[in-house]
Amino acid sequence: MFNPIQPKPCKILSVKHETELEYTFRVEYDIKPDHGQFLQLSIPMIGEAPISVSEQGDGWLEFTIRNVGKVTSCIFEKKAGDVLFLRGPYGNGWPTEELKGKNVVVIAGGTGVSPVRSLLNYLYKTPGYAKSVNVIAGFKNEQSILFKNDLENWKKSFNATFCLDNEEKEGFRKGMVTTVIKELPLKDWGEDYAVIVVGPPVMMKFVGLELLKCGFDEKKIWMSFERKMSCAVGKCGHCRIDEVYVCLDGPVFPYTTAKNLVD
């Protein structure tokens, strides 16, 4: 019988150093999640951490992890051939069906690019699924740029703008992602669009406000909340905000709900 909280030992297939602080681990796994869902990664006697899937394929998942604590530090010591324990997937993913035939806008900041990477690569490999794909991705500086090969592919196929907060670099715009939103051709789209936002909470707050200021309908905006899930099945209350359990009701929420989720 399937046990939703029983971790499964899985072999690491490869480890890619994206930046000094972020590595991508490809791990054997036989369940395909929805784009935007997360799994719990664990090391026995150390702990576990919720990590969004950054890419997937036949028999494997990728997780792009930032080294920020005890569990992730131990994971960073692992190499190809070692074992990680996985359970999941959990939560609600991106509204993929809602994107079909729409002008899709994806706005992501920093490690927030990870939870939308598999969706963007799906759209890249499925021409015509969306009417257009418009990507705005921001990073703190050149050293924090993730998925450089993917960025190149997205720039070839999508309307893509990449930003660095305070640095100048060829192919990147200096400044915050919010400064690009007003340049989106909303008037040309009418009601035929959908917006996806993910990144640090402060970034999402101001992106949401800028989208509304520019005339975007809050019913057509979705956001993903990055929180520390514990049980991931709505029992412990660790991720609860008011009456909402992020692990069950999210991590992806429509903006009509997300705008009220304040700790």
pLDDT computed for residue 243 by the predictor? 83
| pLDDT tens, N- to C-terminus, the chain (263 residues) | 667 789 999 999 999 999 999 999 999 999 999 999 999 999 999 999 999 999 999 999 999 999 988 999 999 999 999 999 999 999 999 999 999 999 999 999 999 999 999 999 999 999 999 999 999 999 999 999 999 999 999 999 999 999 999 889 999 999 999 999 999 999 999 999 999 999 999 999 999 999 999 999 999 999 998 767 788 888 888 888 888 888 888 899 999 998 888 65
pTM reported for the whole predicted model? 0.94
Cα–Cα distance for residue pair 62/194, rounded to 1 Å:
26
Cα–Cα dist 237/59, whole Å: 32
Q: What is the pLDDT of residues 144-171, one digit of tens each?
A: 999 999 999 999 999 999 999 988 999 9
- The strands making up 22-28's β-sheet, listed across from edge to edge, are 47-52, 38-43, 83-90, 8-17, 22-28, 60-66, 55-57
Are 239 and 228 contacting, i.e. CB atoms less than 8 angstroms apart? yes
Task: Identify the pLDDT of residue 1.
Answer: 60
Which residues are CB-neighbours of 205 under 8 A, at least 6 positions away?
A: none
Q: How far apart are CA 161 and CA 138, in angstroms?
A: 9
Q: Please give the domain boundaries of the chain with CATH numbers for all domains.
A: 8-90 (2.40.30.10), 96-224 (3.40.50.80)
Q: What was the pLDDT predicted at 2? A: 64
